[in-house]
Amino acid sequence: MISYGKQTIDKEDLLAVTNSLQGDWLTQGPQTEIFEDNLKRYFGAKNCSVVSNGTAALHLSGLALGWKSGDIILTSPLSFVATANCVLYAGASVDFVDINMSTYQIDIESLESKLRTLKSHGKKVKALIAVDYAGNPCEWIKLRELADNYEFQLVNDNCHAMGAQYHHEKKYAVKYADIVTHSYHPVKNITTGEGGSVLTNSDSLHQKICDLRSHGITKDGSRLSHSEEPWYYEMQELGFNYRITDMQCALGSSQLKKLDSFIKKRNDIASYYDNCLLDSDLIQKPQIAKKSVCAYHLYPLLIDFKNLGIQKHDFFKNFYNKGINFQVHYIPIHLQPFYKKKFNYKSGDFPNSEEFYSKQISLPIYPSLKDSELQYVVEELNKFLSE
């Protein structure tokens, strides 16, 4: 079965993990700091804390940014549920801004209009979580400008875009956002199995994240009420165990060395889809701005199933029987039963995200996808489109 995403693991990765397993530390050892240093260097961040997954990274970011009951946090309905859930973990309120139908990112005009309306009602937005959906960077210069004008915190849920470029910079994420989160889930651009990180140039946010990652405990002598005993530690706030193991960090450092070649391969596959899929009014291929290099975590293809006269689920079944397992990213968050029930969202609230969902499929894209598999997917899609 050819799936939409999969990890790419080589001998170097295996060696890194077995070496780590043979060392003295399975967790809280040297590999954690080494991975954090490697991430800091690659992404140009002053600080980095690796955590157990991307959801934990978002959870801790919200807590470190001080979100609380009554705060309004905006995000896109077109993301994985974790992007919105982290707002609720902090007790704050989440609201959505629809996507732009050519970039699939949060629509800047709708965002400005929402900010103006909220302001005119005396309401202040505490933060925006923008998602570099599919690996394609948002309009970060504009988002930063809005964040400064309306004085809100800017979070980049960068889980899809590790290795992307914005205005020729791989280090764009930390440059524009106050906090950046990663996920290293197996389908992501690099993997540690489960894993994630929080990157920030702010020392105070970093300190908070480090404390919360490990039960809210500190052993830092300068912050303890007394420090005579060598074993002494203090739990100063309510934290979690969101640590990641040393074996995973060893894998992460080994994967990070290959991120550039992974992104090149993902771009080669995307070019193949761009060039070899039949041009038709019934499909829309992703459009990437000249100033950006997309990391292509996903290749979202929009298919006008309605005008093709086929149900999306029949299309899926049909291709599944041919050995191709497409996916859909994402069911808009506001249409999830939990969100509908809790916040009264309904169909029609964010029409672009809903239209996108009705048309979108994620094509197979990952570095270990074989040429023969790629050609097969394109042949079968072209056959379907020309029938």
Site for ligand PLP, rule CB under 6 A: 53-55, 79-80, 82-83, 131, 157, 159-160, 183, 185, 196
Please identify, using beta-carbon distances, which residue of 162 and 288 lies nearer to ligand PLP: 162
Please identify, using beta-carbon distances, which residue of 185 and 213 lies nearer to ligand PLP: 185
330: cis peptide before it, omega within 30°? yes
Q: Within 13 Å of residue 301, how many CA atoms lie on the same side as its CB?
A: 26
Query: Of all helices (H) and strands (E), which one includes residue 342?
Result: helix 337-343
Please identify, using beta-carbon distances, which residue of 129 and 381 lies nearer to ligand PLP: 129
Please identify, using beta-carbon distances, which residue of 115 and 187 lies nearer to ligand PLP: 187
Q: How far is the CB of 89 from ligand PLP (least distance, A)?
A: 12
Tell me the three state secondary structure of residue 368: coil
Closest C-alpha among 306, 385, 330 to residue 4: 330
Q: d(Cα 57, Cα 152) in Å, to the nearest integer?
A: 19
Query: Of all helices (H) and strands (E), which one includes residue 276?
Result: helix 259-276
Q: How far is the CB of 45 from ligand PLP (least distance, A)?
A: 18
Q: Which residue number places its CB atom closest to ligand PLP? A: 54
Q: How far is the CB of 332 from ligand PLP (least distance, A)?
A: 13
Q: d(Cα 379, Cα 373) in Å, to the nearest integer?
A: 10
Please identify, using beta-carbon distances, which residue of 129 and 301 lies nearer to ligand PLP: 129
Please identify, using beta-carbon distances, which residue of 80 and 345 lies nearer to ligand PLP: 80
Q: How far is the CB of 33 from ligand PLP (least distance, A)?
A: 21
Using alpha carbons only, give the angle 162, 166, 170 rounded to the nearest 5 degrees. 45
Q: How far is the CB of 186 from ligand PLP (least distance, A)?
A: 10
Q: How far is the CB of 159 from ligand PLP (least distance, A)?
A: 4
Q: How far is the CB of 90 from ligand PLP (least distance, A)?
A: 15
Strand residues in the chain grouped as ranges (E): 2-3, 47-51, 72-75, 93-96, 125-131, 153-157, 165-166, 179-183, 196-200, 217-218, 234-235, 283-284, 292-293, 299-303, 324-325, 360-363
Please identify, using beta-carbon distances, which residue of 81 and 283 lies nearer to ligand PLP: 81
Only one residue has tokens 């309510």, namely: 238
CB 199 within 8 A of CB 174: yes
